[in-house]
Structure formats: C-alpha cells, structure tokens
Chain A
Amino acid sequence: MLDEAILHLDNITMKFGGLTALENVSFRVKPGQICGLIGPNGAGKTTLFNVICGVYRPTGGTVRFKGETVSGLPVHRIARRGIARTFQVVKPIPRLTVLENVLIAGASDLLAGTWLPFTTRGQREVRDRAMAALVRVGLAGEAHLPAGQLNLGYLRRLELARALIMNPSLLLLDEPVAGLGYDAVEDFLALVKELRRDGLTVLLVEHNTGVAEALCDYMLVLDHGRLIADGEPGRVLTDPAVVEAYLGKDDSLGPSA
C-alpha cells in the first residue's frame, strides 16, 4: 500500500528570492480525513496551500494527488482534477448572482459547453447541480441575490458551494471561519463535519487551535516554513515544540513560573 494517501507532499521547498517560505515539508493526507494545518502567523500555511493548488511551482519537491504528480500543472488543471479550494480573503464575483457564481465553477470547460447559454438543455443540468450545491450549504434562499450583497458568513458558504459543485476529492479550506461570529462558526463546523461524513477529504488551514482541535482527525504544525509536529490533535497541541512556537520559550518565564 504505497499510496493509500490521497495527497502526498514530498520534500516541498519554496523559496522567494533569498527567503525560504517552506523547507522540506513532507506529509500525507489520508482519504476521509479532516486534516488541520496550523501554525503561527507567517509560518507558511497559505504558501503551502498555494503550492498544492498550483499558484506557485515549488522550488523543490513534488506534490502527488491520487498517485499522480500535480506540481507544475496550472491552477485550473489541478482544480479540474479534483482539488477545490476556498480563500482566506473571500473572492466572490460581486456583480453576478449567488447562483451564477456557482454556475461558473460547475460548467464544463469543453468547447461546446462554452458557447451555450445556461438556458439550453445541456446546461440546465449544470443549473440543477448549482442549486443542489447551494441547498447543501444553506444558501438556496439567497440564490438570486447579487453576491456583493452577502455578509461574510454567507460569502464563506458561497465559496464552499463553488468548491462543492466541482465534485472535488480534496477540499482545501483556508481559514474558513476567520472573522465569523460564534454562531456562524458553529454552523460552519457542523457543515464541514457533514461533508466529511459524505466521504470528502478536507485539508484546513486554521489559526485558532481550538477550532482545529474540535474539527480535525489529524494535525500538522508549521513554524518558519518547517513541519515541526504532526499527529493526533490532543498529542500535537501539548507537544513542547508546538507550545514553544505559539507561546515562546518556557525559560523566559523564569524558574518560579
């Protein structure tokens, strides 16, 4: 069983000029897991996401998805292969409606589909799938509002719907609950758990260790571009190296602390 993992990162290094953002990062994500990627500000979490999605071509190492190397492919190809993502700063197309936002991601990239209006028969199926994705994230009632009118919580759901309509095998969520109120966070976490129950694999960047602990089956900790710990959430969060990365060295508190 060489490749039971769905996503396989092998010695990923990413340099921007003289700055090393990621150094020899290797890990696997198993199918059906919610895998959390945590770490302090500037640890390289979003950079790692961008490498997986193809926004950056890694300076060294390979990304394999379902056994095939995807590092080096353009973003849209990787997306079509089944890695969908959301953004830390939401990116709706504000002048289109919520439904249209989802339709874009759902339509086929084949030449014939490109030129047909959404009202024709072949494209109606796409519309149905878009609606289903909106129902799933609880946005069906807002389908015909311009995306620019939604609040942040709804926009995060919109991005999720946009990812879901692409039928991904792996979902990358970049700080999906950042900036949300307490209730909205609870709702969103429940939604992600539901998706996992349906068999989706999730890799999640999270700043807040509490949220990550509540949601994840497995956890990776990044600090200064290196993977410093991985494993069960309970064990990882008490790891001295992780505590140090988040809080600083213990001896600075003095012997009496």
Chain B
Amino acid sequence: MNYWAVLATTVGIWVLLALSLNIITGEAGQPNIGHAAFFGIGAYTSAVLNTRYGVDFWPALIIAVLVGALVGALLGLISMRLRNDFLAITTIGLNFVTVAVFQTVPYFGGAMGIGGIRPPRIGGFTFGPLELALLSWVAVLLVVLLNYHLQRAWFGYALRAIRDDEAAAAAMGIDVRRYKVLAFVIGTGIAGLAGSIYAHFMTFISASDFGFNISVTILAMVVLGGRGSIPGVLLGGIVLGMAPEVFRFISDYRLLVFGAILVLVMRFFPSGLLGQGSRLREWLVGVFRREGAGVHVR
C-alpha cells in the first residue's frame, strides 16, 4: 500500500509540474526549458521556512507559491524583450543558476541539501504516505479546475491569440506583455506549489533534484500529451511520471526506451497524444460520438 501511495504522490507532483508548464508553453506559447528552477525555488522556500524558522507546512506552502510566482513575474518581465530561442536559452540559464545557488550557498545547505523537513500536519495529526498522496491529487484536481476555468475565460483566449500571432493579438487590443507576465506568474506559482509538496513529502531535498534534466522531462510531458490540451498533459504527466517504475526491469536501458518513446510519438503524433488534430484524439472523439448516438437511438 505504501509503495502505491508513494508512487501516486510522485506522479501527482509530476502532473502538477506538467500542468503548470502547460499554461506558459502550451497556452501562451512561451518556451520555458528551465521550469525545474521554479519547482526548486518552491521546494527550497518551503524547506528553509520549515527547518530554519519552524514555519508549518501550510503557511510555508502559500509562501512557496508566492515566491515561485514572484520569480516567474521577473522572468516574464524579461521575456517581453526576448523572443523564442533567446527566451528558451534564458530559461535554461536560470535553471543552472538556481541549481548552482542551492548547491553552493551554505544558507541553502550547500551540497548537503536540506534534511529534516517535517511532513504536513493538521492539529496533532501528521500526514502519512496515504494522506500525502491524497494531498497531491487534491492539488492536481484544483489545478485542473483552474486550468479549465482559465481556458474558457477571456484570459485563455488572449493567451492563445498571443501564442499564434502576437501582432494580431495586439491589434485586437490585447496587452501582450501583461498576459505573458500573467501566464508566467500563474505557471511558476503552481510549480512553487509542487515544490513545497515535494519538499515535505521527501523530507530531504538537494539541488540535483531540480536540475536541467527535470526541466526537460517536464517539457517532454507537455509535448507528449499535447501542448494546450489539459487531458493530454494529464496523460503525459502520468505516463512519463510512471515510466521509471514501469521500466524498472530494464534498468540500464531505461533512458534509451524513454527517448525512443519520445521520438516515436513525435514522429506519429506531432501535436502530442491528445493535442489538437491528433489521430488518437479524433479516434476517441469518434468512438464516444458513436456510442452516444447509439444510446440516443434506443
């Protein structure tokens, strides 16, 4: 039971990260290949508050979200001046800088990382693996609902307009800068949330948990599932989040299989598994339509 609860928590955190990156990269079309930096910022904020200042999980969680969002706002402000490739490189740089800071500054535990982070608790009750799994999936549910809400609101339309054509968006009266920054703020705030949950779930964190390879994995989840598609990104997060477990038996070849899956998906589903225009998505929609129609006739 514990094994499954731990796996569920891990996958839930991955899904949170994928969903949060989807707002920035999938919806607003802004490249971000350093998303793990915000994951790390959230985790370290929460860990430092908890271990050094005795702040409980819940307030630490909120502060972690705010700090993640604040740094995201700064990156968003920079992104106004940078486009595509340059922004992508800046985000990669940000990831390396954050990791280096965590690794070298003694305040953040240096190379030893931070241990002894207390798990969340309510009153006298301390969360075990089961409650942590529940916590992470409640967070996933809330973030999914938020995502759907934003997608249906004008905000979501504005982001998609910016993604497809910034000049057209501006001509339609959309303040391109403001919405880019907002997309970064929301996305990185959620990454901070994931980081805080991660820190209190692991109880020990170190800089290497938030490295560039994590950023690439998060991006792969979004691309695999289908940029801008909420069910797709959920699926991408679950599939790639579980992959290390599923492919445990081939241990040394795990990364090889991992890479091969990505290449095949890109070849046969260029818009992701459930992205717009994907054959899998159209087939699923078709199946549900036919079944629905059948019921209707009877």
Mark A residues whose CB is within 8 Å of B: 53, 55, 74-76, 79-80, 84-85, 87, 91-96, 100, 103-105, 107, 109, 113-119, 123, 162, 166
Contacts and interface: CB of A to CB of B under 8 A. Distances in A.
B83 interface: no
Given A103-B157, A114-B154, A109 B173 contact: yes
28 contacts: A53-B171, A55-B170, A75-B167, A76-B170, A76-B172, A76-B173, A76-B174, A76-B175, A76-B176, A79-B171, A84-B171, A87-B168, A91-B165, A91-B167, A95-B164, A96-B160, A96-B161, A103-B154, A104-B154, A104-B161, A104-B174, A105-B172, A109-B173, A115-B154, A116-B153, A116-B154, A118-B152, A119-B152
B276 interface: yes
A104 B153 contact: no
Contacts of B172: 76, 79, 104-105, 162, 166
Contacts of A123: 154
A113 B156 CA distance: 12
Interface of B: 149-150, 152-155, 157-158, 160-161, 164-165, 167-176, 276
Given A109-B173, A117-B149, A162-B172, A93 B160 contact: yes
A117 B153 contact: yes
A91 B173 CA distance: 14
A87 B171 contact: yes
B164 to A, nearest CB: 5
By Cβ-Cβ distance, the 9 closest A-B pairs, closest first, are: A91-B168, A75-B170, A105-B172, A117-B152, A79-B173, A107-B154, A91-B165, A104-B157, A93-B164
Nearest to A80: B173
Contacts of B174: 76, 104, 109
Which of B164, B170, B171 has the most CB atoms of chain A within a 10 A radius of its CB? B171
Contacts, number: 82
B148 to A, nearest CB: 9
B151 to A, nearest CB: 9
Contacts of A116: 153-154
Contacts of B153: 114-118
B83 to A, nearest CB: 15
Contacts of A117: 149, 152-153
Nearest to B170: A75
B11 to A, nearest CB: 29
A92 B172 CA distance: 11
A85 B171 contact: yes
Contacts of B276: 95
A7 to B, nearest CB: 17
Which of B149, B150, B170, B172 has the most CB atoms of chain A within a 10 A radius of its CB? B172
Contacts of A94: 164
Contacts of B157: 96, 100, 103-104, 107
A41 B103 CA distance: 59
Given A95-B160, A114-B153, A116-B153, A166 B168 contact: no
B234 to A, nearest CB: 20
Contacts of B150: 115
A100 to B, nearest CB: 6
Given A76-B176, A93-B160, A119-B152, A87 B167 contact: yes
B145 to A, nearest CB: 12
Contacts of B168: 87, 91-93
A180 B152 CA distance: 34
A96 B165 CA distance: 12
B161 A93 contact: yes
B274 to A, nearest CB: 14
A92 B157 CA distance: 13
Contacts of A80: 173
A75 B171 contact: yes
B211 to A, nearest CB: 34
B94 to A, nearest CB: 27
B92 to A, nearest CB: 28
B189 to A, nearest CB: 15
A166 B172 CA distance: 8
B154 A118 contact: yes
Contacts of A95: 160, 164, 276
Nearest to A75: B170
A92 B175 CA distance: 18
A115 B161 contact: no
Which of B149, B154, B175 has the most CB atoms of chain A within a 10 A radius of its CB? B154
